[in-house]
Amino acid sequence: MHRASVHIYGWLLLLPAAVLLAAFTHYPAIATLVHSLYSTPRGNRPERYVGLDHFADMLEDPIFWQSFHNNIIFALGTIPASIALALLMALWVNGKIAGRGALRMSYFTPTVLPMIAVANIWLFFYTPDYGLLDQFLKPLTGTAHNWLGTRSTALGALMAVTVWKEAGFFMIFYLAALQQIPPNLIEAAALEGADRVTIFRRVTFPLLMPTTLFVLVNAVINSFRLVDHVVVMTRGGPDNATSLLLFYIYQVAFRYLDTGYGAALTVVLLAILAVLALGQFFTLDRRVHYR
């Protein structure tokens, strides 16, 4: 093939995808930075340069800090729990267990359901007095509890839904990895007299490390991205107790129509994702994610 035509064909094939990627990923990321330095245009008042004013406002904005804090709690609470459960599920349904097919199906089904639909169902579980949870607990505690309407329990209630939704998804990756472990490794360890806990700690788990890292990266991204259930179940309430960063961005930009401040908030979220991406790039083996 002629050498110039390699370049031409290569670029022509890439062009359609490159244009869309540039338009909806690279351009908006840069435009977010630019717009975060401008005020929100309103009516006959065009946008004007305000420098870092939005970021100064952010430092004083209790809802921003609350959302930031909530998001950290949300990530710290949901990620280890869903990964640990996923691993446990995978170990169970990979072994000889009664009703393996039914168990697999039960664990995995939440993954294919729309978050918005399951949020509706969970909403009912959490309804005070009348809801399923209170029907079980009220006879024991004697009082009705408004799970989603109380500051102390609302975020936890949403985290439970998230773990329930994600664990089965991560289970699949662990299951795939478990099936690739050569059985003679486990047999050899067993012959040497290692018990199951030791085998798991010294053989299985180290071999699952690449999968754990892959799942971890996915889980971290998701913890900053998934807000469907917040929109439906609590709308960030009560008193912003369940507001997460992306939800707050949505609220500011599309409810309060303050796009300038929304852009500044997005910059913070992008910065978090960039730090995570760099951390991933430098600390983890790149092959790990892209097997």
Partner 1 sequence: MTGIVQERGLAHAFETLGAWLLALIWALPLVYAVWTAFHPGQYAAHFDLSAPLTLENFANAWEAAPFARYFLNSFLLVTSVLAGQLVLCTLAAYAFARFAFFGREVMFALVLVQLMIMPDVLIVENYRTMRWLGLVDTVLAIGLPYMASAFGIFLLRQTFKTVPTELDEAARVEGASFLGLLWRVYVPLAKPVYIAYGLVSVSYHWNNFLWPLIITNSVTTRPVTVGLSVFAMVDQGIDWSIITAATLLTAAPLLIAFLLFQRQFVQSFMRAGIR
If you search the block for the tokens 């949300």, which residue do you land on?
A: 74
Rounded Cα distance, 55 and 266, in Å:
11
47, 85, 115, 246, 274 from 224: Cα distances, Å: 29, 20, 15, 7, 12
Nearest CA among 217, 236, 235 for reference residue 280? 217
For partner 1, the closer of residues 241 and 252 by Cβ is 252
274 contacts 268 by C-beta, under 8 angstroms? no
68, 73, 261 from 58: Cα distances, Å: 11, 20, 8
Q: Is 139 left (phi over 0), alpha (psi -120 to 50) or beta?
A: alpha
Rounded Cα distance, 87 and 92, in Å:
9
For partner 1, the closer of residues 55 and 164 by Cβ is 164
Q: In angstroms, what is the minimal distance from the CB of 27 to partner 1? A: 8
Q: In angstroms, what is the minimal distance from the CB of 115 to partner 1? A: 6
Q: In angstroms, what is the minimal distance from the CB of 252 to partner 1? A: 9
Q: In angstroms, what is the minimal distance from the CB of 129 to partner 1? A: 9
